Amino acid sequence: NAGVTQTPKFQVLKTGQSMTLQCAQDMNHEYMSWYRQDPGMGLRLIHYSVGAGITDQGEVPNGYNVSRSTTEDFPLRLLSAAPSQTSVYFCASSSAGTGGGYTFGSGTRLTVV
């Protein structure tokens, strides 16, 4: 059971480039979320999904796009990377019955130069 898998683990982008962070879960969870973690800031919610075809914005959605065409996958797209998007990104998933007990991936460390 792989849980939540994120790829890549590390990425360096130039300002203005676009890229997609991949996230896949094999637990048949309904809920999936993307967070960013910055030093001293905790984790902040970017976007979330309650099921295939349904997504919504979180606390810090600007500059990011998501879609959810299947239950398993929830990619995060950076449209035009900026240095302010340098961060560690975590994908998480949860079953509707766990009251918010999310399972997290191991993260993608992104640097924008």
Partner 1 sequence: AQSVTQLGSHVSVSEGALVLLRCNYSSSVPPYLFWYVQYPNQGLQLLLKYTTGATLVKGINGFEAEFKKSETSFHLTKPSAHMSDAAEYFCAVSALPAYSGAGSYQLTFGKGTKLSVIP
Smallest gap from Cβ 10 to partner 1, in A, equals 11
Cβ neighbours of 94 (radius 10 Å): 20
Q: How far is the CB of 33 from partner 1 (least distance, A)?
A: 7
How far apart, in whole angstroms, are the C-alpha atoms of residue 1 and residue 97? Answer: 19
The Cα 56–Cα 66 span in angstroms is 9
Taking CB under 8 A as the rule, does residue 31 contact partner 1? yes
Residues in the chain: 113
DSSP structural state of residue 83: G
Question: In the window 69-108, what residues touch partner 1 (CB under 8 A)?
Answer: 90, 92, 94, 96, 98-107
Chain positions contacting partner 1, by CB under 8 A: 4, 30-31, 33, 35, 40-45, 48, 50, 54, 56, 58, 90, 92, 94, 96, 98-107
